[in-house]
Amino acid sequence: MRFPLVPPPLDIQFTLDLIKEELKSRKFFNTLQKMGLGNSPFQPHLGALILRTLNMDPDAEVTFNTYYRIIERRSKKIRAQGHSVAKQALKVYHELVAERERRLGGHERA
């Protein structure tokens, strides 16, 4: 038997929506690059906003590099069908929260 999912609180849903849009944009513009169309000045970059919604410092190089690596990896996994974008967005969210907690826990590597 399937049970309906309980919607997340609005602040988490807002962050998930931003992540979904970032994943779709990244997928689209990476595909254009593969086709030889180069970089576009019109590509949105939502990373700083996403990191701020998670109380993470977007200006910290290690934080931004971690974010970038996660988004790149997850954007390659999205597909046109089903709930692929939502699934990957949730995974990005959990990875970023885990990273934030790891850093707050004082386990950050030098």
Q: What is the pLDDT of residue 82?
A: 77
Check: CB of residue 53 under 8 Å from CB of residue 42.
no
Q: What is the pLDDT of residue 81?
A: 80
pLDDT, the chain, mean:
90
Rounded Cα distance, 83 and 105, in Å: 33
Per-residue pLDDT tens digits for 99-108: 999 988 865 4
Q: Is residue 110 scored above 80 in pLDDT?
A: no
Q: What is the pLDDT of residue 7?
A: 83
Per-residue pLDDT tens digits for 56-97: 999 999 999 999 999 999 999 999 887 899 999 999 999 999
